[in-house]
Every structure is written in C-alpha cells, then in structure tokens.
Amino acid sequence: MFRDLLRIGSLRLALLVMAVAAIALAPFAGGEVQYSFPDIVTTFLAPPFAILIAFVVPLDCLMTGLFLHGAAANERRRLRLALSAGGVVWLALVISWAPYFLRLASGP
C-alpha cells in the first residue's frame, strides 16, 4: 500500500502529508492565545493552515477526477488511488477540525 502511495506523485503526497500534519494538530488547537514558540503553532498557525489545506485537497481531487476521465487504463489505477486518498484525508481533516470551528463560531 505504501508503494502505491508513492506512485501518486510527490506534490500530491506532500499535500497529503501536510493534511495529516494538520489533522495531528487539531486536538491541541484552542484555549487561550499563547505567544511562546511551541504553543503559537497550535493557536495561530494551525487553524488557518487547516483551512487552506481543507480548500486545496478538494481542488486536487477535482483536478484528479478531470484527468481520470481522459486517462489511459494503466493510469486510471494511480488516479483512483490519489482520488480516494485525497477524499479520505479531507474527510478526516474536516471531522478533526469541526469541533474547534464550531466552538469558534458559537462565540464566547
């Protein structure tokens, strides 16, 4: 399975790794604003980073789906894997960050 993930392309794999990093930071987000180095990552950097990744992953899936329709038979397997990996990671990203953004939207 890991070998197949390497076939999806280096940029797409980097995008998925960044999305997994954003998922890993989700439980630590929130609370009081901290200005020291380790804590500033979860209070200031991780939430906008998660939003950016949450928009870029579906765009990548959209483009992958467009390329899938015109691809040759041997290329379709790689593109289907990229599409499903992107969808699973995006869904996990949205689910992991939903409590934070719902709490933020509800106000103090």
Domain ranges, residue 59: 2-106
What is the rounded (10 degree) CA torsion for 94, 18, 22, 84? Answer: 30
Q: Per-residue pLDDT tens for 38-49? A: 778 888 889 999
pLDDT band at 90; cut points 50, 70, 90: very high
Q: DSSP letters of 9-30?
A: -HHHHHHHHHHHHHHHHGGG--
Average pLDDT over residues 3-8: 80
The answer to whether residue 69 scores a pLDDT higher than 80 is yes
* Total domain count, the chain: 1
